[in-house]
Amino acid sequence: MWNDRLKGYNIILASGSPRRKQFFEDMGLDFEIRIKQVEEVYPSSLKGSEIPDYLAELKASAFDGSLVHNDILITSDTVVWYKGKSLAKPIDINEACEMLTELSNDWHEVITSVSFTTITSQKTVNHTTRVKFKVLTPYEIQYYVKRYKPFDKAGGYGIQEWIGLIGIKEIQGSYTNVVGLPTQLVYKTLMNMVS
């Protein structure tokens, strides 16, 4: 249905995330993937949703001059925000275990920003989901990190994996946002762009 509305537009997903690719496929979108590497560095003054907003727009800037009429470039970034700081992707087993130990028995926020860029405009939206873990035991944390190696995931975990199934007590907001893309917000924004 919505592909009829999007006829004539070329949807470009600029992400190497298999989860975002799967969401686009599950949503029935016709799209292509184009990836350009950027150094994901942001000013230290940024807080909360300002960080993924900035990074989503930074990823889009790598395509400056390469978009053509009717291209809609979609870039995205997710951060885990906990006690006033961003928990990025862990670099190793120790850092992933430290992050999950911090998040144990507490609430944190998962913030995903999505930027929609054309040759004439850019719109960036974001969604925040609150997530609470149960008390995670050292055994559970080590088992998960060693088996699932969540080094490509903000906060060191994937909600759709074992740790999410056994460890998450409560969620307030979009589940797909925590996986990596607020799909309802993507749908709504695209529909508004082509209406």
CATH of the domain at 130: 3.90.950.10
- For this structure, is 77 an active site residue? yes
User: In the chain, which ranges are E strands?
Assistant: 10-13, 32-33, 71-82, 85-87, 107-117, 122-133, 168-172
Q: Taking the chain, what is the end-to-end CA distance rounded to the nearest angstrom? A: 14
DSSP code for 173: S
The per-residue pLDDT for 4 is 80
Do the beta carbons of residue 96 and residue 145 sit within 8 Å?
yes
Do the beta carbons of residue 59 and residue 120 sit within 8 Å?
no
The per-residue pLDDT for 83 is 97
Domain span at residue 130?
2-194
Q: How far apart are CA 124 and CA 126, in angstroms?
A: 7
Q: How far apart are CA 176 and CA 14, in angstroms?
A: 18
Residue of 26, 71, 77, 152 marked catalytic: 77
How many structural domains does the chain have? 1
| Sites in the chain below the pLDDT cut of 70 | 1-2
